[in-house]
Amino acid sequence: MDQINEKDANQDQQIALLLHRIEEAEKTQEGLRERVRKLEKWVWGAGAVIAAAITLIGFVTAADAKQFEDEQSIGVLTDKIRQYEAEKKRTPVEDVLKNALKEWELWQQ
């Protein structure tokens, strides 16, 4: 009977030790879950910030490209206006040659 009582006491002690270990493991597991949740929140937040930054960069780049296209078309239009005005003010080649020949003749006399 002593052996049975001793065996029961050993088993009760082992059960108590195992229950204590299970409780400690559950506490550790809950702590780990909380840490994982915090990390998930950080990752989600960082992902949102990165997505917003990429979107903003895309908008800025698109706006710059549009502005460049507008400036380029304005530049082409400005060049065409300058070219038209220069052609309008330009003296025809024939007149320039005639004037040069007249001046040459006057200089030779």
Side chain identity at 50, as an amino acid letter?
I
Q: What's the pTM value of the predicted model, to 2 decimals?
A: 0.44
* Number of domains the chain is built from: 1
Domain membership of residue 61 as a residue range = 2-108
Which long-range contacts (C-beta less than 8 Å, at least 24 apart) are formed by 37-45? none
How far is the C-alpha of 28 from the C-alpha of 33, rounded, in Å?
Answer: 9
Tens digits of per-residue pLDDT, 23-82?
A: 999 999 999 999 999 999 999 999 999 999 999 888 888 776 666 565 566 666 777 788
